[in-house]
Structure 1
Amino acid sequence: MRLARRAGIDAFALNIGTDAFTDTQLDYAYASAATNHMKVFLSFDFNSWNPSDFSSVGTKIAKYANHSAQLSVDDKVFVSTFIGDALNVADLRAKAGVPIFFAPNFSPGSSNFQELDAAFNWMGWPNNGANKAPSSSANFTVRDGDVAYMNALAGKDYVAPASPWFFTHYGPEVPYSKNWVFPAEGQWVQRWQDLLGLETRFVEIVSWNDYGESHYVGPLSSQHTDDGNSKWTNDMPHGAWLTLATPFIRAFRAGATSPAKYINRDLIVYWYRPNPLSLNCDATDTTMLDAFNSSGEYFHGKPNGWETETDTIFVTALLKSPGNITVVSGNGTFQFNAVQGVNAFTVPMGVGSQIFGLWRGGKVVLQETSPMNVTEICACGNYNFNAYVGRVPSSREKDQLQPAGTALLTNGIRVPPAQCVAVTGSAGEVGDDDGSVSFSESTSETFASSESTSESSTNQKRAWGSPSRWEWIRGWRDFVDLG
């Protein structure tokens, strides 16, 4: 939570189901938030809750409404959901017995938005309108979602999503098998630039710790159990994405249209998949085996939508003054002129080492080699469409899964575990306050939030923001240790 607070995030969305451990975990989360001067709020996951059970939902809201860590907006208890469009909002408000600021993840056109205070759009990635990657005949952008929600809200507050990635690859080793990608690739920077001009009150980052869908911006090293995602998250840190977002978060909170004012140190952030698209892992990937597929989300081999990905290295430079950015990817060498502020570049992926540098006046200012090579080896025997995210200068802290976070690793692989260790690279970085961005406290009325998650069978998660413009992070339901 301290890491999120330093980044300018105001609250965590606690995405909860009906698991037996829910209340215990909520007690931990609220206590940790109070200790760390963070706010939290309930987000009811209607993959678990029944929309007809407004009574239980209202009772849960009332239980935590007066806690010091509860997020309030306009003097109302802030409440959200994941889906749940059939919920009777009037009955819910009556049962809660306290004023609530209700901002659910309802779909435009499927419910009466006039009953809401705001609405949250979870779909933070290009898609086909049916929860899969876009196609030539059906391509809905994140901006299309913004327009649909804002039109349906007719002037009411909109909770806009910001998400860096999406990849999930569960095989028959778990009962919730699913295997697809959304083509997020370079959208993290572009999305933040769009949000600075969107004039929305809230932003929700999807997500803080949803390792199962690969859009986590929080540390791998946080205490959590393994729901089977370790076969693609092991040694794949994302913390530098949070560092990259921080000046944008500060700008959003201040109502600024550019993050340049909040960049006070040179920084290069880079990300890429560990393998080219041509790599064939069919012989050893667990998703080549049959699995229960009532959801229709399970596909054999490469994840559904893989054709929408590209073999690309993504590089963003945050600079205090102009310079030259150099990138070496395998046998390819590239150089770019970069201006003061935000610079985004791409280069073709090359097999081998990845080197990133900043030059000024013919002299090296920064240069490092990524700990993760691009290889033509099936790490852990599986396809891995997750992103490795690093930075120059590298972080002081290393970020890697703890033993509990790799507990199911051997269940999800068909090769010796030593093969994972041999080819997945070394531990990466956790985002930290290293002076690369400004961390001064904001006094404006702005919200920032983050989604926190746990390992329940539904595997859905999210994130958020502070009083007139907010930033939130949504997470899964494993929030035993958010401090």
Structure 2
Amino acid sequence: MRFLAGWSVVAFAALASCAPSAPLSRRDCTSKGIFAHYMIGEIFDKHTKKDIQDAMDLGLDAFALNINSLKSWATDTVEHLFKNADDLGFKLFFSFDFGPDNFGDPSEVVDYLKPFLSRPSYYAHNGKQLVTTFGGEQFDDGKISQFKSNVGGNVLFIPGLYNGAASADIFSKNPSYDGVFGWNSWPSSFSGNVETTAETTDDAVWAQAISNSSGKLRIAGLSPINFKHYAGQNWYRRGEQNLEVRMAALLKDQPDMIEIQTWNDAPESHYIGNIWDEPNTGNTEAQGWYKGFDHTGYQQVIKAFAKAWHTCESAENMVPTNGKSIQGAFWHHVLTVGGDCGADPKGKPDPLPAEDSVSGVVLAAKGSAGLVAVVNNGEKELGKLTLTEGYNSFKFDNLGAGKVQLEVWDGSTMVGGGYSNQTVQTSSNICNYNFQVVGFPG
């Protein structure tokens, strides 16, 4: 897809302007899906099975399969996924990619889609099979209405919109839309060093659109970062003050569904799952910034988030799922914002709304008291945080050269922590602003 001295602690943010009008029952929350966007490449059967098993272990309900071609390398992978999903009891649905140079018209995928809608593993919301997109703003409502009719009519069409300004009257222009998925889960690169909120993304506008139109649904995105640095594309959409505040905000906001962006989009740096070699074999340029940057550490927090989502709990009640007193993750860049990467012909993204900081989440078990998380960088302490039960988020500034570690102490006893396997540098041959992600306990 195209797509200061001292330290500070950033508390999680509330999306007050998008709060639900009435509390939801636990049964309602159980039926509210949480998905991960899954990029279709040439992926081996055994690897698609492993991805599904890992997603099920996290408590995810489905993969949204981003497909942009009907060539065999793509359709074979889709077959692997559906076969394994049928066998394992997992769900899948399509996200057709209508971005530039991909599918040019919804009619191109009608015949391909129809047989999958009756598969036991195809995801349905309230009895209707879900179909989503990446893009498609260019199609008028008549084209979408015809598409829905051609595939049988009983589908829920919720496009993922990213191009152009969000509009609160989207459904008056496009009544055939059954909802909207606001793809832009990060502030604009030109917004500066701002927190990810409903107002700095498109969420507030899409929430207003839902409120204006009876029966429409909203899928909200959740994504840790968006950094791309190849093929003529060089951008950074902010990871700081994002995941650690947005999880708590979405639990308060309660959209209809949540989609994690993404499971496996390594070239855009926003992945929480396995990155297999085979779909990226020819992409040696992108490998330069994601090889060695395992992001599965996010899963130490995502599992508790999915559980809280399905039980209508707030972030304060997100607790470790590992049976231990603590669990969590932290993340940071390995090149300082002002670092020298002049040998890289692409240079740094411009603008670059990144920060020299360490962000993260620590979950503390119920009954915990007196625990303190300490983050060190090289020979200096960046900051410490006294933990409360449940969800604790932080951002400590002044990251510099050296390795990063987080340790949690109960008095003089260390009860857990995590250690970066890469050293933060002030110079590099590549302008790499992907995140180093560390989950703990390992």
TM-score range, shorter chain: 0.7 to 0.9
Residue in structure 1 matched with residue 387 of structure 2 by the alignment: 338
Kindly indicate whether the alpha-carbon contact (under 8 Å) linking 2:196 and 2:241 is maintained by their aligned counterparts in 1: no
1:200 aligns with 2:255: yes
Alignment of 1:119-130 (within 5 A): 119-127=180-188
1:20 aligns with 2:71: yes
Residue in structure 2 matched with residue 350 of structure 1 by the alignment: 400
1:267 aligns with 2:322: no
Unaligned 5+ segments in structure 1 are 171-175, 288-300, 395-483
1:116 aligns with 2:171: no
Q: Kindly state the Cα deviation for residue 239 of structure 1 after the two structures are TM-superposed.
A: 0.7
Alignment of 1:121-270 (within 5 A): 121-127=182-188, 132-135=189-192, 141-143=197-199, 144-153=201-210, 154-155=213-214, 156-170=216-230, 176-221=231-276, 223-226=278-281, 227=283, 228-258=285-315, 260=317, 262-263=319-320, 264-265=323-324, 266-270=326-330
Aligned length: 366
**Structure-2 separation of matches of 1:337 and 1:163:** 27
Q: Kindly state the Cα deviation for residue 311 of structure 1 after the two structures are TM-superposed.
A: 0.5
Report the secondary structure of 1:277's partner residue: strand
One-letter amino acid matched to 2:409: W
**Structure-1 separation of matches of 2:152 and 2:276:** 39
CA distances 1:293-321 after superposition (whole Å, capped 9, x unpaired):
xxxxxxxx101221x21110113211111
Kindly indicate whether the alpha-carbon contact (under 8 Å) linking 2:182 and 2:206 is maintained by their aligned counterparts in 1: yes
Identify if the C-alpha distance between structure 1 residues 71 and 274 changes in structure 2 by more than 3 Å, giving closer, same or farther.
same
2:439 to 391, 405, 416: 391
One-letter amino acid matched to 1:5: M
Kindly indicate whether the alpha-carbon contact (under 8 Å) linking 2:319 and 2:364 is maintained by their aligned counterparts in 1: no
Q: Percent identity?
A: 24
1:34 aligns with 2:86: yes
Q: Kindly state the Cα deviation for residue 209 of structure 1 after the two structures are TM-superposed.
A: 0.4
One-letter amino acid matched to 1:20: K
Kindly indicate whether the alpha-carbon contact (under 8 Å) linking 1:104 and 1:118 is maintained by their aligned counterparts in 2: yes
Kindly indicate whether the alpha-carbon contact (under 8 Å) linking 1:125 and 1:142 is maintained by their aligned counterparts in 2: no
**Structure-2 separation of matches of 1:145 and 1:368:** 34
Kindly indicate whether the alpha-carbon contact (under 8 Å) linking 1:120 and 1:161 is maintained by their aligned counterparts in 2: yes
Q: TM-score, normalised by structure 1?
A: 0.71
One-letter amino acid matched to 2:350: N
Kindly indicate whether the alpha-carbon contact (under 8 Å) linking 1:83 and 1:104 is maintained by their aligned counterparts in 2: yes
Kindly indicate whether the alpha-carbon contact (under 8 Å) linking 2:319 and 2:363 is maintained by their aligned counterparts in 1: no
Kindly indicate whether the alpha-carbon contact (under 8 Å) linking 2:319 and 2:390 is maintained by their aligned counterparts in 1: no
Kindly indicate whether the alpha-carbon contact (under 8 Å) linking 1:163 and 1:215 is maintained by their aligned counterparts in 2: yes
Identify if the C-alpha distance between structure 1 residues 305 and 242 changes in structure 2 by more than 3 Å, giving closer, same or farther.
farther
**Structure-2 separation of matches of 1:302 and 1:50:** 31
Kindly indicate whether the alpha-carbon contact (under 8 Å) linking 2:244 and 2:394 is maintained by their aligned counterparts in 1: no
CA distances 1:223-271 after superposition (whole Å, capped 9, x unpaired):
5324332110011111111221221111111122235254242124111
Kindly indicate whether the alpha-carbon contact (under 8 Å) linking 1:123 and 1:142 is maintained by their aligned counterparts in 2: no
One-letter amino acid matched to 2:395: T
CA distances 1:381-425 after superposition (whole Å, capped 9, x unpaired):
21110000002322xxxxxxxxxxxxxxxxxxxxxxxxxxxxxxx
One-letter amino acid matched to 1:83: G
Q: Kindly state the Cα deviation for residue 286 of structure 1 after the two structures are TM-superposed.
A: 3.6
**Structure-1 separation of matches of 2:286 and 2:197:** 27
Report the secondary structure of 1:208's partner residue: coil
Q: Kindly state the Cα deviation for residue 5 of structure 1 after the two structures are TM-superposed.
A: 0.8
Identify if the C-alpha distance between structure 1 residues 368 and 114 changes in structure 2 by more than 3 Å, giving closer, same or farther.
closer
Alignment of 1:24-63 (within 5 A): 24-47=76-99, 48-50=101-103, 53-63=105-115
Report the secondary structure of 1:359's partner residue: strand
**Structure-1 separation of matches of 2:75 and 2:419:** 45
Residue in structure 2 matched with residue 311 of structure 1 by the alignment: 356
2:129 to 59, 73, 77: 77
Q: TM-score, normalised by structure 2?
A: 0.77
